[in-house]
Chains A and B, each alone.
Chain A
């Protein structure tokens, strides 16, 4: 039986109308933008299931654009996000799509950055404003963004995981959850690692220096702060 917090019951503080179609959508887009990194030029949102059928009435489109603009799920400017994106010169496109056997509230972000590179991130809004990211650039992953998360792509050689965990240990950061994915032995692998406390700047810099690591991203959780 889940051990609920009072703020699971009374909360989140959010922009309406729907925790899954609005707050969760904003959260998904904010995490997707932070995974993509860099300056964003264009985003195409492939909307699946209930997202594609009801996105206008629920303001899912505005929430998604707001997340790309790094707005928080409780930001009252969400309702003007499409205009804000236009002012900032970010092209926003919504396309209904069939993404297969996935949660009804699923969206795929095709994010084009200023340097022309493209990131593809897929995730679902799974209820109550909670989210799950499950695909980054065609690679299966699984994380919720509720905890500080490290995403890395590295050469699948012995000792890489141990190097990362040693750095976290030195900084007294406890690992809550870790998943490793690879398509082929000895080639590139992906890892998502969730921690109990914020990954310090020091730890990030040390991890970035590990030679087998191709790239690494750190996603901090979206926590209600000052309103």
Chain B
């Protein structure tokens, strides 16, 4: 059975001298009683869905079913191509990728929930952007998704991945933590460094509420996928420089869960608080559901 804490995960990986992704693959083979090929092929299929969702809305202006969001990934893509950006082509392309998946999702296109549909832009954007920069192979990108899944399993066991239960910190926060850990391993970091990155990402988003305008997975969700992507990428660099989280991953995950439970229901996906009930938020809601 998959270990229940980050501490155990680091211990077992260190002892066997394997990365998190290898441990995660081995556990999945055992749990699903399938071959290594079957398990990695399934993840590769997921990777292909991610490649497509993170590209499509950069090349085509995609609009959501409600009409609330759309066309922004296309804008960022063209801005990134200008090369006159402040944070560089790499970061702008990553932002465009994140938004592309979120826009495709809101337009009833095909995505891979990771861990949820609302946060589906972060992991593809982070892993594919880092992979492109570091010239990683498709197999290495697939491995990165296993690192992310391993970290996600521990969060799911000790906290929650659902916005209705834990707020946006549980969805976009977990997605960004998983993604950052994946990139750290991709860059040659240790399992301890990977979880340090995950811890830092969650600390920096701790307390973020889930307040979808009109109850739809669009505003502010799509742009929070961008924020999570940027945080995951910068934190990977931070950790690879030698900085580590003073608060261990397991403590941070427990804190995140507690904070989620302390949030009033209004701030947990019910669309009864936060930006959902601002004058603009309510106006959008009225326009969408007017009939």
Contact = CB atoms under 8 A, between A and B. Distances in A.
Interface string A198-227: 000000000000000000000000001001
A5 B28 contact: yes
Contacts of A5: 28, 31-32
Contacts of A16: 104-111, 117, 120, 217
A1 B111 contact: no
Nearest to A79: B108
Interface stretch (B141-149, B224-232, B245-253): B141-149
A127 interface: yes
Main secondary structure of the interface of A (DSSP, over half): mixed
Interface in B89-144: 104-118, 120, 123
B49 interface: yes
Contacts of B49: 13, 227
A17 B65 contact: yes
B193 interface: no
B56 to A, nearest CB: 11
A2 B4 CA distance: 10
Given A4-B2, A4-B153, A17-B216, A12 B113 contact: yes
Nearest to B151: A9
Contacts of A50: 215
B113 A14 contact: yes
B113 A57 contact: no
Interface of A: 1-19, 22-23, 50, 53-54, 56-59, 62, 74, 76, 78-79, 127-129, 224, 227
Per CB-CB distance, the 9 closest pairs between chain A and chain B, nearest first, are: A16-B105, A9-B152, A6-B149, A79-B108, A17-B217, A57-B216, A4-B153, A57-B66, A9-B149
Interface of B: 1-2, 4, 24, 28, 31-32, 39, 42-43, 45-46, 48-49, 64-66, 104-118, 120, 123, 145-146, 148-150, 152-153, 156-157, 161-162, 164, 178, 214-218, 288-289
